[in-house]
Amino acid sequence: MYPMPDPAGRSLDRKGVLDEINKFVVAALAIGLTSTAMGQVIGKAEDQIRWRQSAYHTMAWSMGRIKANVEGTYSKDQVIEAANVILAIVNSKMGALYQPNTNTGKGWKETRVKPEFFADRETPGKVAQGLGKEGNEMAKVAATGDLAAIKVQFGKLGEACKACHDKFRKEE
């Protein structure tokens, strides 16, 4: 078996390489990624907090738009526009905006993330995957124009948002 160099200059055998990959994947899931690929890290802590607050509020606007359509006058285009915004954001690997030094601090306002989000090695990845799944499904269903199915999927997407809020967001 050939030893492989790692970035820290150590030599690793195959078992060592697999262990490193495993640690990497666990770390990726722990910061809430929807995929095992690492997201791209840019910005200072306060930028990351402001950007994630912005992305959630952009999704909240979009959820409000879908709600107005399913409860009031339905427009296929409006639901598609809003669902596509949510789709792009849930697929943007915004877990990268949860670097360890963003556990406290101020973006637009103090972050509401709970310490458990950074301590829990499993649940953040799971809730993020849930949001990814329902966000992708929402865009598919929106494109069909089937209002009854849109209502059902909108409910599921709302539950996926709530799953994270209940566990990891402080009350205001």
Interface positions with its own copies (CB under 8 A): 37, 40, 42-43, 47, 50-51, 53-58, 60-62, 64-65, 68-69, 75, 77-78, 81-82, 84-85, 87-89, 91-93, 97, 108-109
- State the minimum distance, in angstroms, from the CB of residue 55 to its own copies: 5
Q: What is the DSSP string of 107-118?
A: SSSB--B-THHH
Nearer CB in complex with its own copies: 20/51: 51
Nearer CB in complex with its own copies: 50/127: 50
Rounded Cα distance, 85 and 157, in Å: 14
What is the token pair recorded at 168? 């990891």
What is the token pair recorded at 151? 């209502």
Helices (H), the chain: 14-30, 45-71, 76-90, 116-119, 123-144, 147-168
Nearer CB in complex with its own copies: 23/109: 109
Nearer CB in complex with its own copies: 81/120: 81
- State the minimum distance, in angstroms, from the CB of residue 14 to its own copies: 26
Rounded Cα distance, 76 and 54, in Å: 26
What is the token pair recorded at 32? 């809430």
Rounded Cα distance, 68 and 65, in Å: 5
Nearer CB in complex with its own copies: 88/163: 88
Rounded Cα distance, 66 and 87, in Å: 13
C-alpha 88: how far from its chain's center? 11
- State the minimum distance, in angstroms, from the CB of residue 1 to its own copies: 29
- State the minimum distance, in angstroms, from the CB of residue 57 to its own copies: 4
- State the minimum distance, in angstroms, from the CB of residue 125 to its own copies: 18
